[in-house]
Amino acid sequence: MKTILSQVCTILFVSLLLSSCMETKESAKIMPGEIWLDTDGNFINAHGGGMLIYNNTYYWYGEMKSGETYTPECNKEWGGTRVDVTGVSCYSSKDLINWQYEGNVLPVVTDNPGHDLHTSKVVERPKVVYNAKTKKFVMWMHIDSMDYSKASSGVATSDSPTGPFTYIGSTRPNAGFWPLDVSEDDKKDGNLAEDFETGQMARDMTIFVDDDGKAYHFYSSENNVTQHIAELSDDYLSHTGKYKRLFIDRSMEAAAVFKREGKYYFMASGCTAWDPNPARLAVAENIWGPWEELDNPCVGENAELTFISQSTYVIPVQGGKDAFIFMADRWNKDDLKDSRYIWLPIEFGDKDSVSIKWHDEWDLDIFGE
Ligand code: GAL
């Protein structure tokens, strides 16, 4: 009896060991487009996401996409599917591969249909930055009405990277301010004059914090036709009134900004709702421009569709030289909760050349020592 028991124990032990090894092996790689599980074994639910690096830890924030995907009447004309809003998730990791769920850090409001965070609204592309002066974690996000006509930016703060975040409110940036370099003729343009009064339309967005601690808000404005860069106040909670129109009439969204060797890079998509299109790339010596547009950096099969995905962020990998990860969403517009993540290493060549190639699976060793 004793021998049988000890044999059973040995078999159990060996199979446990094997399965834990397999798990480690499985989770040691980034596999773009595959189901990505968190350390509890659940699907990572953090779409349109962004990354905060704080105390040697990566925090991944994103839109939670849960429940049924449906097309509301108001969005039927352009096929705009949605899920009801549930909140903003946060995951933490030391290695960018194994992610621990930290919770829903900005839960929705269910009892007030007028609230920006009500389930019927749009809460997209949350980005969190840390303000060293106020010691607050500041989250900016695209806030909209179900039909996307509100076109505003919301802000929330927390004392901890893992929340809870307290929602402050939403705004259309820079009401009462003209953009830098605006001509007298442009000021007479009906749309610009209207936006001067009401504030700037702001949909897809990102926040970039420069080495000197100054934060900038990039957002798709003027009905997604023109990108804006706007300076944030020292506490990162409001706009200073200094802003500029970039890539006029180039229709870009899903902005992601990073800095390498003193140069600023801007990545984005074109405007085709959930459907993929060719990635956009631009480079500048000064964040206010001039920005020079470069070719689509994606190469290989499906490059013209950004590998069937849309940019959301570029991660500067800690401790690596030239180690940047292009982070994108492969949206499943008919079942949004099954949207996947496309993470790929960015390669830098001569001069400003940037390329992104497909990898079925890869790990951080690709960046070298
Ligand atoms: C995309 C945008 C997404 C989401 C979607 C809705 O263009 O990048 O964040 O708003 O449209 O259809």
Please name the residue whose Cα sits nearest to atom 8 of ligand 1.
Answer: 254
Please tell me what DSSP assigns to residue 37.
Answer: B
Q: Which uninterrupted H or E stretch holds 268?
A: strand 263-269
* 68 within some domain: yes
What pLDDT does residue 22 have? 43
The answer on pLDDT for 369 being more than 90 is no
Across the beta sheet with 152-158, the strand order is: 122-131, 136-144, 152-158, 166-171
Phi, psi of 83 (to 5 degrees): -120, 155
Domain that holds residue 155: 40-171
What is the chain's percent helix, strand, coil content, to nearest 5? 15, 40, 45
The answer on pLDDT for 50 being more than 50 is yes
Residue 274 in contact with ligand 1 by CB distance below 6 A:
yes
* 52 within some domain: yes
Residue among 253, 309, 313 whose CB has most ligand 1 atoms within 8 A, to mutate:
253
Q: In a 3-state reduction of DSSP, which class is residue 5? A: helix
Q: How far apart are CA 3 and CA 14, in angstroms?
A: 16
Is-cis flag, bond preceding 290, omega within 30?
yes
Closest CA relative to residue 362, chosen from 30, 112, 44: 30
What pLDDT does residue 191 have? 87
* 86 within some domain: yes
What pLDDT does residue 24 have? 41
What pLDDT does residue 320 have? 86
Residue 124 in contact with ligand 1 by CB distance below 6 A:
yes
Q: How far is the CA of 125 from the centre of ligand 1 (A)?
A: 9
Residue 254 in contact with ligand 1 by CB distance below 6 A:
yes
Query: In angstroms, what CA-CA distances link 3 with 8, 11, 13, 105?
Result: 9, 12, 15, 52
* 95 within some domain: yes
Greatest alpha-carbon pair distance for the chain in Å reads: 94
Q: How far apart are CA 343 and CA 97, in angstroms?
A: 11
Residue 166 bridge partners (DSSP): 157
Mean pLDDT over 338-350 rounds to 96
Q: How far apart are CA 254 and CA 271, in angstroms?
A: 9
Residue 126 in contact with ligand 1 by CB distance below 6 A:
no
Q: Which atom of ligand 1 is nearest to the CA of 224?
A: 7
Dump pLDDT digits (tens) for 90-141.
999 999 999 999 999 999 999 999 999 999 999 999 999 999 999 999 999 9
Given a contact cutoff of 8 angstroms between Cβ atoms, the answer to whether 27 and 20 are in contact is no
What pLDDT does residue 169 have? 98
Mean pLDDT over 36-48 rounds to 98
The answer on pLDDT for 325 being more than 60 is yes
Q: Which atom of ligand 1 is nearest to the CA of 81?
A: 12
318 torsion bin: left (phi>0), alpha (psi -120 to 50), beta (else):
beta
The answer on pLDDT for 186 being more than 50 is yes
Model pTM score: 0.93
Q: How confident is the model at residue 208 (pLDDT cuts 50, 70, 90)?
A: very high
Q: How confident is the model at residue 23 (pLDDT cuts 50, 70, 90)?
A: very low
Domain count, the chain: 1
Q: How far apart are CA 8 and CA 77, in angstroms?
A: 63
* 235 within some domain: no
Q: How far apart are CA 91 and CA 111, in angstroms?
A: 27
Closest CA relative to residue 326, chosen from 351, 286, 362: 362
Dump pLDDT digits (tens) for 167-183.
999 999 999 999 999 99
What pLDDT does residue 352 have? 72
Q: What is the CATH number of the domain that holds 46?
A: 2.115.10.20
Residue among 203, 220, 223, 332 whose CB has most ligand 1 atoms within 8 A, to mutate:
203
Dump pLDDT digits (tens) for 273-295.
999 999 999 999 999 999 999 99
Given a contact cutoff of 8 angstroms between Cβ atoms, the answer to whether 244 and 217 are in contact is no
Q: How far is the CA of 351 from the centre of ligand 1 (A)?
A: 33
Please name the residue whose Cα sits nearest to atom 11 of ligand 1.
Answer: 273
Q: How far apart are CA 84 and CA 72, in angstroms?
A: 10
Q: What percent of the chain has pLDDT over 90?
A: 89
Please name the residue whose Cα sits nearest to atom 6 of ligand 1.
Answer: 273
Residue 204 in contact with ligand 1 by CB distance below 6 A:
yes
Q: What percent of the chain has pLDDT over 70?
A: 92
Mean pLDDT over 327-348 rounds to 98
What pLDDT does residue 368 have? 87
Given a contact cutoff of 8 angstroms between Cβ atoms, the answer to whether 88 and 62 are in contact is yes
Residue 63 in contact with ligand 1 by CB distance below 6 A:
no
Q: How confident is the model at residue 313 (pLDDT cuts 50, 70, 90)?
A: very high
